[in-house]
Chain A
Amino acid sequence: MSEKQQDTNTVKSGTGSSVLGGVETSNKNLENIGVELLPIHTEGTVHAKRIPGIFRKFKWIVASFWLILFIGPYLRWDGQQAILWDLANRQFHMFGLTILPQDIWILAMILLFFALLLAAATAIAGRLWCGYFCFHTVWTDVFTWLEEKFEGQPNKRQKLDQAPMSFEKIKIKVPKHILWLLIGFATSFSFVAYFTDALDLWARLFAFEWGSVETTVVVVLGLATYFFAGFLREQTCIGFCPYARIQGAMIDTQTVVPTYDQDRGEPRGRMKRPKPGEEAPQLGDCIDCNLCVAVCPTGVDIRRGQQFGCITCGLCIDACDSVMEKIKKPKGLIRYASLQEFTGKKLPAIWKRPRVIVYSSIMAFAAGAILYGLATMAPIDVKALHERSPLFVQMSDGSIQNKWTLKIVNKQSEEMVVRVSIAGGPASLSYVVDENVLVHPGTVRSTTLLVKIPRKDLTETNTPIDIIVEDINKPEIRTVYDSVFIGPQPR
């Protein structure tokens, strides 16, 4: 950003006020490391103007994705809730697919995929998540939209905020807060409904039968939604959210973000008709109308360049384009552009950027692992636990016996009858195990396996054997567990 450094290292307060507040400093340290302090908005709630435009439309379209959150719990599948995190029974249902804790590593892969998707998207086009998709951005957007419906334009809202408490003020404010609280409740209720049956949750709500956990989560999460989206707003993005701080490490000079075209815009100034005899001043395209600041939901001035308060929502682009249209100048004074473009260099193709290559290969790995996991997710899971005390037993007929406890998990939704058999080891090997083991759906069944080998046939202390567990009705459901038969030192 050093090339954007302006005339001075003195920090002056702009639209907001800097933490140093207009104090002249003679400290050279900041200048030495090429840092420009940008003001952040600290003067009360930001009341941003809303104006129509392409990005405004795009934001609504993307935000409508979140409607799924509210609809999701009511989807049904096979007479059951389609998406259900059944914590009590430790099962995750998703459209007929049941995931048990044994397969939870797939979840780790899903998280990895999305973490890298976030990094890749940020490397290419900045805080796409923050600007369009983040639930905080979306909820705040909806909350302020409602606020405008009740209280009017930003200047009216500011006036109302400053006005002393009166009956009129309460009459305007209360319906808004009630609506906000209702949205908060809808949000937290929908969240809880993914963990328990949604219809049942409604029924129990009206019967006043909620337990403490449900009540606490719904109340706390609902109030948090109300508080964050209604009151904290841009302060969350600027002050709380860690993403604002790490984005500096995720964005480089090739990242396209909403940027003010300084070369075209400066020197900025109001357009005036020159008085007779006066020479028209040489001005850039920026007419310093401040509309880009007025529409910004976090109250930053994009003309100061990339800054951590900017969530790259593109609303300033809409604002500036509407002004450029009016004054008959080309659009795009503020546009999605990278710093490298302004130095005159071309951007390399997306797939030739090292960060994109690294991110997308990790994503490909994670996606491959997810697909592999889902495709090979066995309907049966077997753990064979070798008895450790005693490791082996001398039997009266001179053979050595080992004991296993088999834990058989049935991940299907119907009952399963399995047969256990052994492969490998000497021909004289014999074993005893329950003949047909019934495993109820979604449960673990343990059974005992006793294997005997005559001592004279043991050539090593460790003899590898395979424990085979198969469904007697569906032979394709079969799993082989490699284990080791342990005996005494051969004589």
Chain B
Amino acid sequence: MAGHNPWPDEGNTGHIWDEDLRELDNPPPLWWMLSFYAGFIMIIFYTLYYPTIPLTNNSGEFTKGLTGWTAIEEYKEDFQVLKDWRVAKFADKEEQLAAMSVADILKDDELKQYAVATSKVLFGDYCAACHGAGGAGNPNFPVLADDDWLWGGNVAQIEASIKNGRIGNMPARGMMGNLTDEEIDSVTDYVIALSEGKGNDAAFAAGKAVYAKGMCLACHGPMGKPLAPAGAANLTDQVWRFSSDREQIRNVIANGVNVKKNGEYIEGTRQAIMPAFKERLPNADVNVKRLAVYIHQLGGGQ
């Protein structure tokens, strides 16, 4: 910074670097200054109009402004507008869903697509915790994307399962509870052979005898296939309700499903309860149907 100022009359501040680089004192344009002062005037307006000044003593209180406007209220109002718009736009579709049976909804392509599209969030909130995203299933909880249905796989049966829930029921050690450990081993090998579609030997015949003695056929059917879907697993197919592991299969036969003694589950019994969703779901009349259609199209609906 030089002390010498070769430009005394141009209004510079006297700060000069590198001989000629100097700081001038030019006033901003008038319009700029006016906007600047207008900004200060706006502060008064803002202070009065909007919630502005926090009050003392950590009460969380603040001056409310002239109209009581808050950002969250405005957000809620805007969101309500969106909600109302949605309700109005899809009102006829929702009415149709409420009025029609699930079987009819399934036949109406446009309505089916609507039901599926509006079910994704609902399924994620209420179903996916147990049945997995996309109905992929979880250990102990059935896969919904396959074609094996304990309680029936047409859309009306699926609707009934969601609405009223299902409680698995299989006695321990056969219907009478009288199978010995050896007999359980034998019948375990028998049902595995049934599933694999092989076995014609003596062991198979012995297992078949135990199957009859335990009166397994009452639910699972004479050939290992239930006559009607009523919660009993089809033993001839490739899908295992709980596990394909031999030890696990044996355990189910030995301890049953949902077997209680004195009001308590016995040790080792499988717990399999699908709760009734007619009370759990909001707007259950329509939402149960919606979910039934959604689950039906996951990959195995009948």
Contacting residues, chain B, for A8 (C-beta < 8 A): none
Q: Which B121-151 residues sit within 8 Å CB-CB of chain A?
A: 132-137, 143, 145-148
Contact A23 B7 (CB under 8 A): yes
Taking the nearest CB of chain B, how far is it from the CB of A294, in angstroms? 30
Q: CB-CB < 8 A to A397: which residues of B? A: 237-238
Residues of A within 8 A of B84 (CB): none
The one of B19, B133, B239 that contacts A389, using a Cβ cutoff of 8 Å:
B133
Q: A23-B7, A25-B19, A27-B18 are in contact. Are A393 and B299 (CB under 8 A)?
A: yes
Complex Cα gap A26–B4 (Å): 14
Interchain CB contact (< 8 A) of B147 among A387, A396, A403: A396
Residues of B within 8 A of A396 (CB): 146-148, 234, 237-239
- Asked whether B133 lies within 8 Å of A23 as measured between CB atoms, the reply is no
Interface residues as binary, B20-51 with A (CB distance below 8 Å gives 1, 0 otherwise): 10000000000000000000000000000000
- A475 is an interface residue with CB less than 8 A from chain B: no
A395 sits at the interface (CB 8 A): yes
State A448–B301 Cα separation when bound (angstroms).
Answer: 13
Does chain B have a CB within 8 A of A398?
Answer: yes
Chain B residue numbers with a CB within 8 Å of A388 are 134
Residue among B7, B20, B146 making CB contact with A393, cutoff 8 Å: B146
**B7, B132, B234, B298 pick with most chain A CB within 10 angstroms:** B298
Contact of B299 (CB < 8 Å), options: A401, A446, A455: A401
Instruction: Verify A398–B238 contact, CB threshold 8 A.
Output: yes
Main secondary structure of the interface of A (DSSP, over half): loop
A394 on the B face (CB < 8 A): yes
Contact with B along A25-51 (1 / 0, CB 8 A): 111000000000000000000000000
Would you call A390 and B20 a contact (CB within 8 A)?
Answer: no
B146 CB contact (under 8 Å) in A23, A389, A394: A394
Known A-B contacts A27-B18, A27-B20; the reply to A390 vs B238 at CB < 8 A is no
Are B20 and A23 touching (Cβ within 8 A)?
yes
Chain B residues, Cβ within 8 Å of A395: 146-148, 238-239, 300
Query: What string of 1s and 0s marks CB contacts (under 8 Å) between A384-413 and chain B?
Result: 000111100111111001010000000000
Task: State the CA gap A396–B147 with chains docked (Å).
Answer: 6
Within 8 Å CB of A389, what residues of B? 132-134, 136
Residue A450 interfacial (CB < 8 Å)? yes
B7 nearest in chain A by CB position: A23
Q: Are B145 and A390 in contact (CB under 8 A)?
A: yes
- Scoring A25, A388, A393 by chain B CB atoms within 10 A of each residue's CB, the highest score goes to A393
Instruction: Return the contact of B300 from the options A23, A387, A393, A448 (Cβ within 8 A).
Output: A393
Chain A residue with Cβ nearest B237: A396
Closest CB of chain A to B124's CB: distance in Å? 11
Interface centre among A25, A395, A401, A448 (most CB of B within 10 A): A395
Write out, one digit per residue, whether chain A residues 121-132 have a CB within 8 A of any chain B CB (1) or not (0). 000000000000
Q: Kindly state the separation between the CA atoms of A25 and B146 in the bound complex, as whole angstroms.
A: 87
From the candidates B137, B147, B297, name the one contacting A390 in the complex (CB within 8 A). B137
Q: Which residue of A lies closest to B134 (CB)?
A: A389
Shortest Cβ distance from residue A476 to the other chain B in the assembled complex, whole angstroms: 27
Residue of A nearest to B244 (CB): A394
When distances are taken between beta carbons in the complex, the residues of chain A under 8 Å from B7 are: 23
Residues of A close to B113: CB separation below 8 A: 446
Checking B20, B132, B134, B239 against A394 with a beta-carbon cut-off of 8 angstroms, the contacting residue is: B239
CA distance A27 to B20 in the complex (A): 8
Q: Quick one: closest B residue to A24, CB to CB?
A: B6
Q: Provide the bound-state CA to CA distance between A212 and B15, in Å.
A: 51
Interface membership of chain A positions 1-31, coded 1 if the CB is closer than 8 angstroms to chain B and 0 otherwise = 0000000000000000000100101110000
Contact across chains for B19 and A27 when beta carbons are under 8 A apart: yes
Kindly report which residue of chain A lies nearest to residue B113, judged by CB atoms: A446
Report the separation of the CA atoms of residues A332 and B137 in the bound assembly, to the nearest whole angstrom.
Answer: 86
Task: Annotate A226-261 by CB proximity to B: 1 below 8 A, 0 otherwise.
Answer: 000000000000000000000000000000000000
Distance in angstroms between the alpha carbons of A99 and B13 in the assembled complex? 62
**Shortest Cβ gap from A400 to chain B (Å):** 10
The answer to whether B145 touches A393, judged by C-beta atoms less than 8 angstroms apart, is yes
- 21 pairs across A/B with beta carbons < 8 Å? A23-B7, A23-B20, A25-B19, A26-B19, A388-B134, A390-B134, A390-B136, A390-B137, A393-B299, A394-B143, A395-B147, A395-B238, A396-B148, A396-B237, A396-B238, A396-B239, A397-B237, A401-B147, A401-B299, A401-B300, A403-B298
Q: Name the 6 nearest CB pairs between A and B, nearest first.
A: A396-B237, A390-B136, A389-B134, A398-B238, A389-B133, A396-B148
Extra inter-chain contacts (20) besides given A26-B20, A395-B238, CB under 8 Å: A25-B19, A25-B20, A27-B19, A387-B299, A389-B133, A390-B136, A390-B137, A390-B145, A393-B145, A394-B143, A395-B147, A396-B146, A396-B148, A396-B234, A398-B237, A401-B146, A401-B300, A403-B145, A403-B299, A446-B113
